[in-house]
Every structure is written in C-alpha cells, then in structure tokens.
Chain A
Amino acid sequence: MSATVTTGTEGLAHVAETAVPEQHRGGDRPHPARHALGLLLRIVLCLVFGLPLVFMVVSSFKPDLQIFDDLGSFKAFMPTGDISTANYTGVFGRVPFAQFMMNSVVITVVTVVLGIVVNSMAAFALSRIGFRGAGAVLGIILATLIVPFETLALPLLWWSNQLPFLGPDGISQGWLDTYQVQIIPFIANAFSIFLFYQYFDSIPKELDEAAKVDGAGWFRIYRSIVMPLSGPAIATVAILTFLPMWNQYLWPLMAVQTEELRPVMVGIDYFKQLNTSWGQIMAYATMITAPVLVLFVAFQRSFINSIASSGVKG
C-alpha cells in the first residue's frame, strides 16, 4: 500500500492488531513470576470491566427475588435457577418497546447516511475543488469543535421551537416533538467534515487531473473516484455518528414528549419510572445494548480505529 494513501485515518489501522514489542525485546524475557502476576492482573481487570455486563445480561433472565438471592455468590453471574424470558415479555407488555426501537433505528440510520453524504461533499469542496475563502471556511468549522453540544442544547431547544418546517401538511411552526428535530440538527458535523477533509487531502490530486482529461466533472470525480477510495474515512465517520446518535439522551429528553416518537434511551428512563422490576429494566437494557455489541464484535477493527482516529485531532 502506498504511503500517501495510508496517512490520515487509516494510518492507525494497525492499532487494533499489532503492538510494539516493547518489553519482550532482545531476549530479556520477563521473570516467570512477574509474567504470572501480569497475567493475573489482566484477568482481574477483565472481570472488573466484563462482569457488570455479564451481571446485566444474566439478571435479565431471572425473576427479581432470585436476582437478590444470588447477589451473595457467584450465582449472580451465572444463568442458574429459574431462567425465563418473562422479563422480556414484561417489557413489551408495559411500553411500546418495538416503537422506541424503530424510532432509534430510523433516527440513527438517516443521520448516519445523510451525514456521510453532506459532510463528505463539504469536505470535497473545501479540500479538492477549493475556492477563494475555503481556508477561512475550514477555520471557522474547526473553531466550532471547541463548543460542546451541552452549551448549545438549551438555546437550540428554544430556537427549534421558533423554526418553521415545510412538511407534507404545509408549513408548520416549531420543531419540538417531531422526528426531524432528532435528525436534522445532527446531520452536518464539524468533526466529520474535518475527518473527510484530512482523508481526501491524502488522495493524490493527479487522479482528478486524469479524470478531467477524460471529461469528468467535479461531481463525477467525487462520486466515482474519491468516495470509492475513501472507505476507511466513511467507516470512521459512520461509527462516530452511529454511537452518539444511538446513545442520544439529553436532546430527545427535552425535544420530544410524545411517546410514539421516543428513542430507546429516553424510553428506558421512562420505563424505569413506571416500574420497579430490576429484571425487566435489565432486560430492556440488554435489548438496547445488544445491537451495538453485535456491530462492535463484527466490525471491531473499524470501531477501535475510529476511536483512535478521534485522537488525532489534538
């Protein structure tokens, strides 16, 4: 692989895989006792990070009484005793869980897809086409990275209530309590633009020249040359949009009141207020975590690389 192309986000691809053999170099293998101690430490840490999640999943299959009975022993982490899916049926019986799930899927998928298109186009215009003032525009975009969303949330809430919206039923005022208020404000993202910009800059510009000789326009170059070469950047942006969107809590908590429009994370909060069955809450928690865990295990490398690449901005 050529060096130019591997700069940018893909440059960290090896993070997930290999490690610098920092210690076992030059034949100074660690003392066996030290080795065993190190292994033990790693295993204990595994328990610290893994067991609470095991506990969550295991408890979701037990009746509440048994959960508390098992707390005092290792049974707390084992699917023993009265195992059933009663808690899961209980969740569906109490709240429109399928609807919450559907809402979260729609909100997340639409934001990820539109985010990739909108932000990559903007980055393409800034990085590869260029125009007078492009540098200033990029500067403004980067400067906004310092503003946390939490600063803007309340003014944005007020502002969303003032905005008009042209929908199928004509023009309405106020975006609160809608799908669009959960999607549209999060499509354009300064950090996504920055990631695409950085990646596009590493793709040789000569490709554009060659395509232009063949009569391709800028949009064609974007769609048929640059985007197909930008897989790693697209994956990074997709993951870094997916995680916060799926996990969104503060914004929908305020912007959405109607039950039918609620996403899963606000739904669990509401569910807990209706309910004191910990088994059912753990069942709900397991169901909204499972999709992310499945995706994480399937695309582990990409997940870890995108987190690592969020560190290159410093």
Chain B
Amino acid sequence: MSTITAAENASATTLRERKPAKGSRSSTTTALLMLLPAAVLLITFLLIPIGLTFGLAFTNARLISPRPAEFIGTDNFVRLFQDETFWKSLRNTIVFAVVIVPLQSACALGLALLVNVKMRGVNFFRTVYFLPVVTSMVVVSMLWLFMYQKNGLINEVLLKFGIVGPDWLGDPKTALLAIILMSAWQAMGFHMVIWLSGLQTIPADLYEAADLDGADRWQKFRYVTWPGLRATRTFILITITISAFALFTQVNIMTQGGPLDSTSTLVLMAVRTGFQQQQTGYASAISLAFFVLVLAVTLLNRYVTRDKDVVR
C-alpha cells in the first residue's frame, strides 16, 4: 500500500489528466491483443447464443438431428400460445416472483437492520444468517425435500405446536408455497448483505440530526433510512425478480414441476422440451418468452424508479 500512497503524493503535484499514450498505434495493437481472448469467448458463448435464441425460435431445429433446421415462421409461437403447460408455467413463474419479491426483500431488510447495530456477537448472527447463501441450491433443495416429507422434520415440529402439517410437496395447493418459503430461506442472507452495504452508505450525521430533532425510531427509519436506500432498493428488486423468473433448480429436484404442473416454470419447461424432447426450436421460443418477461420487468422497474427521481 505504501507504493500507492507514494505515487499518489507524487501525482498530487502533476495535473491529473489522461494523456493520449505515445505510439498509440502499437498501444492499440496491444490493447486488441489483450482483449482478444475475452472477445472471442464472449462472441462465441454469449453474443452468438443470444442471436441463436432469436433465430432458432423460428425454426424446427432439433438438438441432435442429421437434417438441418428449417425456417417455419411463427409456428413455434402459435403452438406455444395454445400450450396449456406454457400458460400454467407462466402463471407459476409470475406467482412465484410476485410472492417472493416482497417477502424476501422485506425480510432481508429486517435482518439487515437487526445486524446493523453495535452489539456483542453481531458478527456471529450475520454469519449464521448468511450460511444458507454459501450452501448450494441443489443441497438446500435436497435438505428441504427431506424436511418437507409428510412425516418429516417440519411437520414433526408443527405437531409440537398442535398443527397437523400438509403434505407440502405432494399437494398442488401447497407445493409452490413450499418452494417459495425454501427459496426465501436460502437467498435472504444474500440480500441482507446488499441491504447492509446500502445502510452503511447513509451518513451517520443524518441520524444525529434526526436525534436532535427528537425523531423516534420509526421516524428515523421512515425519513432517513428508507430514502437513503433508494438505489439499493431498485437493485434488490431487479435481482430478486430476475432470479425468481429463472426458477429451475429447486423445482427440478423437488417436484419436477408436479403435482399436476402446479410447480412447472418457464425454464423447467424449456429444459423439458429443449433437452429431454430435443426440440431446440420450440425451447428457444420458450426461452424468448422468458427473456421478454425479464426485459419487461427491467424496463418497468427502470421506468418506475426514474419517475420517482423526477418527483423527489
């Protein structure tokens, strides 16, 4: 670190401006060479697949087939809109997002406020709340699949309180709810940390000023903390929504979309058709529908938050 400080001191006397590098042609060559590996990889595994998602959706491409893919126009989309599983999957995906976004973000904010205090052992609490985040979703799904058994841990605990628990994953009425609760449990620590980093950006003197004005705890939250978290809020809403739309792992391990398609999701359906049934063209159409959903939410979110900027 001393090197930097020395350099900083030295630079304090010179003007901080970016000079065009000398011999800029060779500089450009070096720059392009250093960019090359990433550029080739990003083009091959990101940009081309993005293009393919759009392109293949209008073909009858199959995953493994001797025949080349043929252009079939909007047939895949016509089929998609008549597919009952698609509407169920779309509905489940949206329900999942609509429930988990407020649930998870609010609880994560609560956790962040609880651990954002000077208190002995607060680091311990923070670590424990964060533990599920470093546990893989696959492991968490296995664990909860076990706990959600009809005679499993959760129902045994509920029984202690005199509640007869449902067959969580076996009943179409509770299966999606069970997956929502488990997913919120797993990811809450992640968003707690992001809320925390947002809380730390709020200047302490704002709280001091509020104290001087005799603000109570709720007023401090309402008029200092909440407005101070605006940027964090937007970020958290977008990330939770997008990862909620991408719901796949939990469902594939715990219910395979059942019972009666009550937990089928867009990504699960895309994997079913594109991988198990090898219909890449149709799966691309589903992926595109999924992407449109993500894009719509991102744009909507951006629009809503921009509006607020103007009002404030």
Contacts and interface: CB of A to CB of B under 8 A. Distances in A.
A281 interface: yes
Contacts of A56: 139, 143
A117 B152 CA distance: 47
A121 B38 contact: yes
Sorting the interface of chain A by its residue count into under 10, 10 to 19, 20 to 34 or 35 or more gives 35 or more
Interface residues of B, number: 124
A158 B197 CA distance: 40
B153 A55 contact: yes
Nearest to A35: B119
Given A45-B114, A150-B248, A268-B142, A25 B196 contact: no
Contacts of B131: 49-50, 53, 293, 296
Contacts of B50: 144, 147, 151-152
A55 B147 contact: yes
Chain A: interface secondary structure?
Answer: helix
A253 B30 CA distance: 39
B34 A314 contact: no
A49 B134 contact: no
Nearest to B22: A212
A119 B8 contact: no
B121 to A, nearest CB: 8
A188 B35 CA distance: 11
A258 interface: no
B87 interface: no
Contact of A219 (B34, B64, B143, B196): B34
B4 A2 contact: yes
Interface string A1-37: 1101100000010110101111111101000000000
A22 B245 CA distance: 35
B208 A25 contact: yes
Nearest to A243: B134
Contact of B248 (A119, A250, A296): A250
A185 B47 CA distance: 12
B156 interface: yes
Contact of B294 (A2, A125, A132, A148): A148
A188 B42 contact: yes
Most buried by B among A2, A22, A41: A22
Contact of A42 (B35, B45, B114, B236): B114
A104 B146 CA distance: 25
Contacts of A71: 151-153, 156
B136 A247 contact: yes
Contacts of A278: 146
Given A72-B156, A153-B271, A314 B117 contact: no
A41 B42 contact: no
Contact of B11 (A72, A153, A204): A204
B18 to A, nearest CB: 6
A148 B243 CA distance: 8
B257 interface: no
Given A76-B153, A314-B231, A151 B41 contact: no
A68 B151 contact: yes
B49 A19 contact: no
14 contacts: A22-B116, A45-B129, A52-B147, A71-B156, A122-B38, A129-B28, A148-B294, A157-B275, A159-B48, A205-B18, A206-B10, A254-B271, A281-B146, A285-B143
| 5 pairs of A and B residues whose beta carbons are closest in the complex | A314-B235, A188-B41, A122-B38, A154-B274, A311-B194
Given A52-B185, A158-B274, 20 more contacts: A22-B116, A49-B129, A52-B147, A121-B37, A125-B31, A131-B27, A131-B32, A141-B42, A144-B46, A147-B294, A152-B50, A152-B53, A153-B267, A154-B286, A206-B7, A254-B271, A265-B139, A307-B193, A310-B194, A312-B197
